[in-house]
Amino acid sequence: MHNVDLLSGNILVTGSAGFIGAALSHRLLDSGCRVIGIDNMNDYYSVDLKTHRLRGLEARDNFTFIHGDISNAETVRGIFGKYNPSIVVNLAAQAGVRYSIVNPDAYIQSNIIGFYNILEACRHCGNLKHLVFASSSSVYGGSTKIPFSTEDKTDSPVSLYAATKKSNELLAHSYSHLYGIPATGLRFFTVYGPAGRPDMAYFKFADTLKAGGTIQVFNYGKCERDFTYIDDIVEGVFRVMQGAPEKFSVYNIGGGRPENLLEFIGVLQGELVRAGVLPGDYDFEGHRELVPMQPGDVPVTFADSSALERDFGFTPKIDIREGLRKFAEWYAVYYNSVI
């Protein structure tokens, strides 16, 4: 492993108006880095929320934003030609397991073609010291062996989204082997927190309950998720960026504490009441429906992040109550300001 100086050149963050991309960009700017961000600002979820994140970044020094799409090869080549990044963090992707069933084209364009364009640009970039890219816990498919280890087989994806993320790992591995690109894939486990993605369960639950609707709890509540707070994800990525492998490596970043979905919802409800989003006498039982598992979902995710701790001295630390409290407090302020 080689040490990489984050201050030695420009850092390209794709998906910089996204949840993880914006949070990572702030962390890098706090450390004095020069960040080039690109995002296509698509309407998969609220563009207003993406604009809200981007506004905070554009108010800062050393941040340059490009409204563009990584699936456009000319755009990607132009960015690499102009800014010659020393580090690339590819977080741009079409996210969501269920959406991949109804709109597969978006996943092929962004997650396959877009990532291929990034790899090709990295191949011809003489200044590149490290490519870090987002993979996903979904690559483990329906594995019943827990916790999930990077040593496990990941050749049975159960959604197109998972298949595209596994494809990213295979493409990066081949480019790394053929062209000597130091590349690290990071398998994220259910990221949550303030300014998160509205399509994620915790955010949708908050929206639905606030509107007086009924939340659907899949697999009759018999699900466990390894929720990982955004600050822990960002700290993990930040540390990994500074340690480039000889060629290719992959790590899990997960909380390592799977939470039962019903218990998670109970904590979320309590924090929404505490933050004033919901009244104290809210009838939670009357606004909850237990339903079967959805296609493409898995019952349990559980990260073995021991390799991350071994190589980078980091283990996610923020527990569910602290993380959901911060989300609920942000949610109360944000929605009071936009409504």
Contact 12, 34 (CB under 8 A): no
Q: Model confidence over 139-187: pLDDT tens digits?
A: 998 787 889 999 999 988 989 999 999 999 999 999 999 999 999 999 9
pLDDT at 337: 64
Distance between CA atoms of residues 268 and 32, nearest Å: 35
Residue 202 annotated in active site: no
Between 193 and 299, where is the model more confident? 193
- Of 268, 252, 254, 261, the closest CA to residue 290 belongs to 261
Q: Lowest mean pLDDT: which of 175-189, 231-245, 250-264, 315-329?
A: 250-264
Q: Which amino acid is at 179?
A: Y
E strand or H helix at 99: helix 99-102
pLDDT at 255: 85
pLDDT at 73: 98
Please identify which of the residues 45, 99, 116, 161 carries the catalytic annotation: 161
Instruction: Name the band, by pLDDT with cuts 50, 70 and 90, for residue 203.
Output: very high
pLDDT at 338: 52
- Spell out the domain ranges in the chain: 2-192+228-256+302-318
CATH 3.40.50.720 fits domain 2-192+228-256+302-318: yes
Q: Is the pLDDT of residue 220 over 80?
A: no
45-50 LR contacts (CB < 8 Å, sep 24+): 45/197, 45/198, 45/199, 46/198, 48/338, 49/195, 49/198, 50/17, 50/18
pLDDT at 13: 98
Contact 19, 230 (CB under 8 A): yes
Q: Model confidence over 96-154: pLDDT tens digits?
A: 888 888 899 999 999 999 999 999 999 999 899 999 999 999 999 878 788 999 999 99
pLDDT (average), residues 301-326? 94
Instruction: Name the band, by pLDDT with cuts 50, 70 and 90, for residue 339.
Output: very low
pLDDT (average), residues 276-293? 89
Count the neighbouring beta carbons within 10 Å of the beta carbon of residue 70.
26
- Please enumerate in sequence order all residues whose Cβ is within 8 A of that of 261, keeping only pairs 6 or more positions apart, or say none: 201, 217, 218, 219, 221, 222, 223, 224, 225
